[in-house]
Structures are given as structure tokens and as C-alpha cells.
A and B are shown apart, each in its own frame.
Chain A
Amino acid sequence: MSVRYRARAGGRSVGWWARRVVVLSVVAAQVFAATWAYDIPNKVFGWQMFNASSDWQAEIVRVTATGDRHDVRDPWPGGYRWEGLVLGRGLDRPFARAHASAGLDSTFDFLQKALDWVAINTPRDTETVRLEATVTYWDNGRGPFTRTFTSSGRSEQRP
């Protein structure tokens, strides 16, 4: 059976237009995603696989109203555990040096969002005012460099 070609002698059917609109939309969306991926940390549909061999590790602390700093691995008011709150992309095991699986920008973006999420979603903890992560990273072997990430304040989140 060979490939057949169906075309109407005159006029264009709705299907004729619909197929072109769908195909052109997908092509345009892919071109947009590929271009935009160079500006965003997570490279969604940018197809930039294995883009780096960078490493990172983080020390994450809770900062209380008195200014005390407690490692999140220590007992946490409300019985929370860091690895019980965050999962995936190596964010649940940030304490040992590890590969930044989708690049440093992506890891940092998720770490910041994770700190914000944890700050909001730990209502039984009445002591902590914010979370801080001090990140040591190696950018494709260069470094180490240090960067600090701070969660949004918890006081304004509380009812």
C-alpha cells in the first residue's frame, strides 16, 4: 500500500486549515521554547540535556526571632524534618557535595523556591522567622564559590 494524497479540487476544508494551524503552532511553540530556554533556569522543552557538570552542597539553618541559627538537621519545633518536607532534584540531600543534575541555575532556582515553600508550610514551628541556605558550589570544576539564599519571612505568612 502506498502513501496516498487526498486533496480537494476546489476550496479548502476545515481539516486542511486545522492541520496547518496545529502544525505551525507546534513548530512556533518549539522555536519559542528553544529560544526562551537560554533565559530560564529550567530549560523547559529547550532540549539542553547534560548541560553542565557542576556540583553543590548547602548548609541550611533556621533563624529564630532572637537571631539564633539552628541546623535543619537538628530537632525542629513541630517535629519537622527537612527531608520530610522536600523531595527531588537532590534538594532533600543538600548537605553533601552532589552533582547539580540540571545545572546550577536550576538547582538554585528550586532551592530558593523550596526555602519559601518550607517557610510557609511549617505551621507548627512557632520559633523560626526565616530559613537560610549557604551554598558552596563548583561551576564546571571552577570554584568553590559561595552564595546565600534566604526564605521569605515567616512572620508575614502567619495568620
Chain B
Amino acid sequence: MSSVTLAHERPGVAQALTRFLDGVGDLRQLELLRIAIGPIVILHLWPFLQRSLDGIAYSDRFFQPYVSWYPEAPREVYFVLLWLAVVSAVALSAGAATRLAAVYTAAFVAYNLFLSQLNFVHNRAFLCLLLVGLTLVPVGRRFSVDSLLRRRAGAPNLGSEGRLWPILLLRFEIVCVFVLSGLSKLIDPDWWGGTVIMLRFVDGRAEAEASGVPVWLLDVVVTDGFNSAFAKLAVLTELAIGIGLIFKRTRLGALWLEVGFHVAIEVVFSVQVFSYAALAAMVIWITPSARDRLVIVCGDARRTRLARVAVRWLDWTGRFVVSEGEPNGRPLTLVDRDGRSSSGRTAGLFVLTRLPVLFPFVAPLYGAELLAARLRRRRRPRAAAGDE
């Protein structure tokens, strides 16, 4: 059995779980989450910061602890801890004293979340889970002040290897968010029937009209038929994302759906930091293995140059190694991690789908390309049979 065949073998669920529980992998993709999460933390703390500027602490207004023994910081101490969280969030994004910054930011966000039952909203809980996840993996070894200082001091690069079990937990929580949210709506007749969503649209109609949304569109949006269909679409989308993320074959499609889903709910409903955190957290689904795909570019055609530049500048998660091919070779060849190679349009689109910033735009084209290729493969045997 060749090594390529071995690579194609699909591991069972138990094997995959064991790999995540005991394995280590390259987690450089989480550096992107680390960079993005600092501003998201500050955005989430913004209401608390505004109150602190007015001299209002949690204990100055109605608050409701979960348990009586929960430590309640005196107001001045709380203000100091709160503003320190801003400093640590900035440090976390910059990658300065990264481990300390990650631990403090996660600790304060968790402390604040559980300080009062009033503070609990799901987007804050989701952010808190991501932060706790970041304390369990090495982040700050690339694109960071820490790595810069190490380089300047002549210290060796620490590498991005880390344990995979925190990734397993974060993936589990992300799946739970979508599946449980979708499930709760699926079994609620008011949600599934469209009542909940229609009332939201009716509530927001005046605001939408004032912001220039055409009246005819708003008339359609508030009809029973539209909302009944739209609610089902929304619920099934959430479930499709949650379930689609679990399986490797459907993951890319689920991630693409997720981008659209978050953009849509942020535009229509404004969901505090949930969309930003969830979009940043999409990197958790990237295979923890870096530089294991070879892109061979040949010639000097415009398209080739563009591919070279795109990969060199936009491959933020370190998927590819770019290599120069022979002058008269194919303009672009991709050798995947399982040893399979492809070239031309399919290879180009594959590469572009793995560049985070281009993924939302290129993924549908790549999907269409794969579908077309499958149809071509199906037609070929039939045509051959017809010839006989």
C-alpha cells in the first residue's frame, strides 16, 4: 500500500478524537484570533468603561451575584482591574507578554461575566470561552512583539507547536452554539412559524425606512409568507453550519455559510460582539498543520505573478510553501498534503480559498468548479459507453 493511499484513509471517530486529545500540531492560525480578539474585548468592555468614566461601578446599581461567596471587588479596585483589562487586551493583540496578557484578559472577562447575572449575555460568554482557549495554547510566537524581541536577542524561534485538545474543546463549543441555538428555534412554534422574526422586522421597519431601505422591500419583508420561509431558512442555516462544521467534507461550505450568516445578523440585528468574535474564531477550524502544501509557480505571466504575490502576502495561516518551477512548466501546480497534485484553474481556486481574506469570495467559485468537475467525470463514462 503506497503512502498516498494511507494518507487517504479516513480515521475513525475514536482515532480522530485520540489524535486531538494526545496530539500536537502547528497552531499558528490562532495568532490571527489572538490579534483580532484584543479590539473585540475592548468593544465588549465598552459599556463598563463608559460607566467607570461616570464613576459608576457594578456595586453602585442593582446587581445579582450567582453565589453569595463570589468575590466582590471594592469599586476602586474594580475600576483598576477593568482598565488593566484594556491594557492586557492591547498587549494580547500586540503579542507583548502574551501568555500573561492572555491569562489576565481571560480572567477578568470571566470574572466580570460572573460578577452579576445581569452581565450574562451569550456573546460575552462566547468571547470568554475563546479567551480561555487562548490561554491553553501557544500564541504570540509569530506576528508579535514577543517574537520580535526574541529575534532581536538572537534567541531561537519557539515554533507554533501546541497541544490540540484545547482546539477540540473550542470546536465542540462552536458546534454547540450553532446546534443548540438552531434546535431551540426549531422546537419553538413561534420561531419556526415566523412570528418571532416578523415582529423583529416590524419593530425595525421605521428605522430601516429612515436609513433608505426601499418601501416595497419592507412591505415584502413584513408579510407572513416571507417570514415563515425566512424563519425556516434561518433555523436550518444555523443547524447546517453547526452540523456542517463537524465533518471535514462539509466544513468549507459550513464556514462559507457562517461568514454570510454573521454578516447578515450583524447588519440586520446588531449582536454586540458575537459576529466579530465568531468570524475571528473561524480560524479554529483550520487544520493544525502548516506549510505542507506546495505551490509551484512557473513563468512570468500576469496571472502567475498575481498568484505568487497573493500567496506570499495573504497566506496568513501558513498553508503553503511557494516554489519556482521550470520556465516552461504549468503556470500553477499545487501538491496537496496527501501528495495529490492539481493544476490550472482548480489548483488556483483551491489556493485562493485557503487565503483567509479571499475565502468568502472565492469559496463559491471553488465549489462550482468542484461540482463541474464531478459532472464532467460522470458524463465521461456515459459518453464512452455511447461510443461503444
- Is B117 at the interface (CB under 8 A from chain A)? yes
Residue B199 CB within 8 A of the other chain? yes
Choice from A4, A43, A89 contacting B25 with Cβ under 8 Å: A4
Taking a contact as CB atoms under 8 Å apart, the answer to whether A34 and B180 are in contact is: yes
Q: Are A85 and B61 in contact (CB under 8 A)?
A: yes
Chain A residues closer than 8 Å to B24, beta-carbon distance = 3-4, 6
Given contacts A49-B122, A140-B190, A140-B195, A5 and B200 within 8 Å (CB-CB): no
- B115 an interface residue at 8 Å Cβ cutoff? no
With the chains together, A15 CA to B121 CA distance in Å? 34
Please state if A110 and B64 are interface contacts (CB–CB under 8 Å).
yes
Q: Do residues A114 and B62 form an inter-chain contact, with CB atoms below 8 A?
A: yes
Docked-complex contact B64 and A5, CB < 8 angstroms: no
Known A7-B22, A51-B188: A1·B64 in contact at CB below 8 Å: no
Do B269 and A50 touch (CB < 8 A)? Answer: yes
Q: Is the CB of B195 within 8 A of A23?
A: no
Partner of A23 from B25, B169, B289 at Cβ < 8 Å: B169
Asked if B196 and A53 sit within 8 Å, CB to CB, the answer is yes
State which residues 175-229 of B face A: CB under 8 Å: 176-177, 180-181, 184-185, 188, 190-191, 195-200, 203
**Is B125 a contact partner of A6 (Cβ separation < 8 A)?**
no
For A22, list chain B residues within 8 Å (CB). 165, 169
Q: Which residue of B lies closest to A1 (CB)?
A: B26
Contacts of B176 in A (CB 8 A): 30, 34, 47
A1-B26, A50-B269 given; A20·B199 CB < 8 A: no
Decide: B200 and A53 in contact? CB cutoff 8 A: yes
Q: Which residues of chain A come closer than 8 Å to B173, judged between CB atoms?
A: 26, 30
* Residues of chain A from 59 to 113 with CB closer than 8 A to chain B in the complex: 84-89, 91, 99, 102, 110, 113
Any B CB within 8 A of the CB of A141: yes
Per the CB 8 Å criterion, the residue count for chain B at the interface is: 54
Structural contact, A47 and B121, CB atoms closer than 8 A: no
CB distance from B139 to the nearest CB of A (A): 17
Report whether A23 and B168 are in contact in the complex, using a CB–CB cutoff of 8 Å: yes
Q: Which of A27, A121, A141 contacts B199 (CB 8 A)?
A: A141
Min C-beta distance of B224 to chain A, whole Å? 12
B164: interface (CB < 8 Å): yes
- Within 8 Å of chain A (Cβ to Cβ): is B21? yes
> Taking CB as reference atom, which chain B residue is nearest A101?
B121
If the complex has contacts A1-B26, A45-B125, A117-B62, are A23 and B21 also in contact, measured as CB distance less than 8 A? yes
Known contacts A86-B61, A117-B62; is A4 also within 8 Å of B23 by CB? yes
Judged by a CB distance under 8 angstroms, whether B85 is at the interface is no
Q: In the complex, are the beta carbons of B291 and A89 less than 8 A apart?
A: no
Q: What per-residue 1/0 map shows which CB atoms of B325-337 lie under 8 Å from chain A?
A: 0000000000001
Interface set of B (CB-CB < 8 Å, partner A): 18-19, 21-26, 51, 56, 61-64, 117-118, 120-122, 125, 161, 163-165, 168-169, 172-173, 176-177, 180-181, 184-185, 188, 190-191, 195-200, 203, 269, 271, 274, 287-292, 337
